[in-house]
Structure 1
Amino acid sequence: MVMTDEMMKAVENDLVFFATSTADGVPNVVPIGFAKPIDSEHILIVDNYMHKTHENLEKNPEAALVVKDAKKCPYQFKGKVEIFESGKIFDDAVEWVTNVMSKQPKAAMLMTVEKIYSVQPGPDAGKQVD
């Protein structure tokens, strides 16, 4: 699934909420300040303080992400997440975060957007976007 320029700008410029679940389905949602698309199909999410989220993704790579301001970006993004603790994706995350704060990230997470759903109130709420 491909994100539009509008979707990508909203993810990069707003707080996002990142949802994961344990292998047996116990949900967890956290606010994320460091999330940005790296292209129209992938979102980089930086793990600065995650505990449950990181553990969940190790056992269940499925996740969902929504932007705080649904008026700017009324979409939910779902897909699989890979965790990187070294290599180019991790290095890019370290460079991004250390330019803003002194803490080095624990990991970089790369979400491949597989489905996009509307969260806009009304008749299309919950429907998959083509």
Structure 2
Amino acid sequence: MVLTQEMMDTIEKNNIVWLATASTDDVPNVVPIGLARPLDSGTVLLVANFMNKTFKNLKSNPKASIAVGNVSECPYQFKGDVEIYESGKYFDDAVQWAKSVMAQLNPKAAVLLKVNEIYSVQPGPDAGKKIE
């Protein structure tokens, strides 16, 4: 699935995305993420700073969904598979970015969401509709 330039710009400029995960027992969890940005038209980087339940969920059930905090600007939900990097280039880049925002942050990991589905969350008749 391909994110449009508008989608990528809006993810980058918003200061919060909501990350939804589920445990292997199907217990849902949602958390605000302050550091998220697209790496390309199919991948969103999420910096894992304070994740506890979420991080455990992602390791055992590597699927997630995000929505931008201001849905009036970006009325989409992005779903996909995640890859977790606790070392290497993605992790190093995530640490550098996080520390440039707030020096005391100590990221646990770089989480890459590989987007494979996009849905509308725009109020109205197309709410919940899959974007093709």
Say whether the fold is shared (TM-score over 0.5): yes
Query: Under a length normalisation based on structure 2, what TM-score does the superposition of the two structures give?
Result: 0.96
Note the C-alpha offset of 1:104. 2.3
Correspondence for 1:42:
43
Moved over 4 A (4+): none
* Counterpart residue identity of residue 38, structure 1: L
Query: Under a length normalisation based on structure 1, what TM-score does the superposition of the two structures give?
Result: 0.98
For structure 2, the residue ranges without an aligned partner over 5 or more in a row are none
1:113 to 107, 112, 115: 115
RMSD: 0.7
Partners of 1:125 and 1:80 in 2: CA distance: 23
Correspondence for 1:16:
17
For structure 1, the residue ranges without an aligned partner over 5 or more in a row are none
Give matches, 1:85-124, under 5 Å. 85-102=86-103, 103-124=105-126
Deviations 1:2-61 (A, max 9, x none): 001110111111111000000121000000100000000000000111000000011101
Percent sequence identity over matched residues?
Answer: 58
* Counterpart residue identity of residue 50, structure 2: Y
**More divergent stretch after superposition (46-55 vs 101-110):** 101-110
